[in-house]
A and B are shown apart, each in its own frame.
Chain A
Amino acid sequence: MRELMLGNKAVARGLYEAGCCVISSYPGTPSTEITEEAAKYPEIYCEWAPNEKVALEVAHGAAVGGRRAACCMKHVGLNVAADPLFTISYQGVESGLVICVADDPGMFSSQNEQDSRHYAIAAKVPMLEPSDSQEALDFAKRAFALSEEYHTPILLRMCTRISHSQSIVERGERHEVPKKEYHKDPQRVMMTTNSLKAHYRVEERTKAMTELAETTDLNRTELGEDRSVGIITSSTTYQYVREVFGEKASVLKLGLSWPMPVQKIRDFAAQVDKVLVIEELEPIIENHCRQIGVEVTGKEVIPMVDELTQGVVARSLGRDPKPTLTLADEIPGRPPVMCAGCPHRGVFYALSKNKCMVYGDIGCYTLGVMPPLNAMDLNICMGASCSGLHGFNLAGGADHEKHSVAVIGDSTFAHSGITGITDIAYNRSNSTVIILDNSITGMTGHQQNPTTGKTLRGDPAGKIDLEALCHAVGFDRVRVVDPNQLKETEKVLKEELAAEEPSVIITRSPCVMLKSVKKAPPLQVVAENCNGCGLCMKIGCPALTLPKSKGVVEIDRTQCVGCRQCMQMCHRDALVV
Chain B
Amino acid sequence: METVNIMIVGVGGQGSLLASKMLGHLLVAQGYDVKVSEVHGMSQRGGSVVTYVRFGDKVYSPIIDKGEADFIVSFELLEAARWIEYLKPTGTIVTNTQEMEPMPVIAGLAKYPENLVEKMGALGVTVDAMDCLALAEQAGSPKAVNMVLMGRLSHYFPDIPAEAWQASLEANVPPKVLDLNKVAFALGQQG
Which residues in A have some Cβ–Cβ distance to B below 8 Å?
2-4, 29-30, 32-33, 108-109, 132, 160-161, 164-168, 236, 239-240, 242-243, 309-312, 321-339, 364, 367, 370-372, 443-445, 537, 540, 542, 544-546, 556, 558
Distance in Å: Cβ of A70 to nearest Cβ of chain B: 20
Q: A540-B107, A542-B46 are in contact. Are A326 and B78 (CB under 8 A)?
A: no
List B16-62 residues whose CB lies under 8 Å from chain A: 24-25, 28, 33-48, 59-62
Which residues in B have some Cβ–Cβ distance to A below 8 Å?
11-12, 24-25, 28, 33-48, 59-63, 65-68, 78-79, 81-82, 84-89, 100-107, 109-113, 116, 119-120, 123, 125, 142
Query: In the complex, A443 Cα to B87 Cα: how many Å?
Result: 31
Contact B60 A242, beta carbon cutoff 8 Å: yes
Contact B42 A443, beta carbon cutoff 8 Å: yes
Distance in Å: Cβ of A338 to nearest Cβ of chain B: 7
Please, which residues of chain A bring their CB within 8 A of the CB of B142? Answer: 558
Contact B63 A161, beta carbon cutoff 8 Å: yes
Contact A332 B63, beta carbon cutoff 8 Å: no
Interface of B, secondary structure class, is mixed
A108-B42, A332-B112, A336-B12 known, 8 other contacts, Cβ within 8 Å: A132-B62, A164-B39, A165-B35, A242-B61, A322-B68, A333-B102, A336-B47, A540-B106
- Counted as pairs of residues, one from A and one from B, with CB atoms less than 8 Å apart, the total is 188
Contact B42 A336, beta carbon cutoff 8 Å: yes
Q: A161-B62, A309-B63 are in contact. Are A166 and B78 (CB under 8 A)?
A: no
Please, which residues of chain A bring their CB within 8 A of the CB of B125? Answer: 325
Residue among A326, A338, A371 with max Cβ neighbours from chain B (10 Å): A371
Contact A164 B37, beta carbon cutoff 8 Å: yes
Closest to B63 in A: A309
Query: In the complex, A41 Cα to B92 Cα: how many Å?
Result: 42
Query: In the complex, A168 Cα to B54 Cα: how many Å?
Result: 12
Query: In the complex, A329 Cα to B84 Cα: how many Å?
Result: 12
Query: In the complex, A372 Cα to B110 Cα: how many Å?
Result: 13
Contact B103 A370, beta carbon cutoff 8 Å: yes
Distance in Å: Cβ of B148 to nearest Cβ of chain A: 15
Instruction: Pick from B65, B84, B106: contact of A309, CB below 8 A.
Output: B65
Closest to B35 in A: A167
Q: A327-B81, A329-B119 are in contact. Are A372 and B107 (CB under 8 A)?
A: yes
Please, which residues of chain B bring their CB within 8 A of the CB of A321? Answer: 66-67
Instruction: Pick from B43, B101, B105: contact of A336, CB below 8 A.
Output: B43
